[in-house]
Chain A
Amino acid sequence: MNVRSALFLAFLAVGTALLPIWGTPYLIGIAFNLMMWIALVQSWSMLSATTGYVSLGHVVFVGIGAYAFVPTHDILPLPLGLAVSAIAAAFFAFFVGLPVLRVPGPYFVILTFGLSELVRNIVMRIESGLGSFGRMIFDAPDPGVLLWWMLVLAVFATVIAQLIRGARFGRGLAAIREDEVAAETVGVAVSRLKLYAWIASAAIPGAVGALSLLRVSYFEPGQAFDPVISFTIVTMALVGGTQDARGPILGAAAFVLLSELLWSSLPQLYMIVLGVALIVFILFLPGGLIGLADRKRRSG
Chain B
Amino acid sequence: MDILFSGQLLFAALVSGSLYALVALGLNLVYGTLRLLNIAHGELVMIGAYTAFWMLTLFAVPPVLSIPVAALVCAALGWLLYVGLFRRLLKRPELAARIEANSLILFYGISVILQNATALFFTSSARGYSYLGEVVTMGDVSMTGNRLLSLGVAVTLTIGMLLFLRFHIFGWSLSAVIERREAARVVGVNVDQVQVITICVGFAIAGMAGVLVSMTEQITPFMGFPFTITAFVVIIVGGLGNIPSGILAGFALGLIETYGVALTSAGYRSILIYGLFVAVLLIRPEGLFAKAVKS
Contacts and interface: CB of A to CB of B under 8 A. Distances in A.
A181 interface: no
A115 B120 contact: no
Given A105-B101, A118-B271, A118-B274, A275 B113 contact: yes
A100 B229 CA distance: 19
Interface string B97-117: 011111111101111110111
A115 B282 CA distance: 10
B36 to A, nearest CB: 10
Contacts of A114: 274, 277-278, 281
Nearest to B236: A110
B267 interface: yes
Interface size class of A (residues with CB under 8 A): 35 or more
Interface stretch (A33-41, A121-129, A156-164, A196-204): A121-129
Given A106-B101, A110-B104, A268 B120 contact: yes
B105 A54 contact: yes
B281 A272 contact: no
A295 B56 CA distance: 53
Interface in A249-294: 268-269, 271-272, 274-279, 282-283, 286
Contact of B104 (A52, A106, A277): A106
Contacts of A278: 105-106, 108-109, 112
Contacts of A286: 98
A286 B120 CA distance: 29
Nearest to B86: A283
A234 to B, nearest CB: 6
A146 interface: no
A104, A128, A272 interface centre (most CB from chain B within 10 Å): A272
Interface in B71-100: 85, 89, 98-100
A111 B275 CA distance: 11
Interface in A111-137: 111, 114-115, 117-118, 121-122, 125, 128
Given A105-B101, A107-B281, A275-B113, A118 B120 contact: no
B68 interface: no
B268 to A, nearest CB: 7
Contact of B281 (A103, A235, A271, A283): A103
Contacts of B275: 118
Contacts of B37: 106, 109-110
A115 B99 CA distance: 24
Contacts of A107: 281, 285
A275 B104 contact: no
B95 to A, nearest CB: 8
Contacts of B271: 118, 121-122, 125
Contacts of B109: 235, 274-279, 282
Contacts of A282: 98-99, 102, 105-106, 109
Contacts of B285: 103-104, 107, 111
B278 A111 contact: yes
Nearest to A118: B274
Contacts of A56: 104-105
Given A110-B37, A110-B104, A272-B116, A279 B110 contact: yes
A272 B113 contact: yes
A272 B117 contact: yes
A276 B113 contact: yes
Interface string B110-153: 11110111011000000000000000000000000000000000
19 contacts: A104-B285, A105-B101, A106-B100, A111-B281, A114-B281, A115-B278, A231-B105, A231-B108, A234-B105, A269-B120, A271-B112, A271-B113, A275-B108, A275-B113, A278-B108, A279-B109, A282-B106, A283-B89, A286-B98
Interface of B: 37, 85, 89, 98-106, 108-113, 115-117, 119-120, 229, 232, 236, 267-268, 270-271, 274-275, 277-278, 281-282, 285
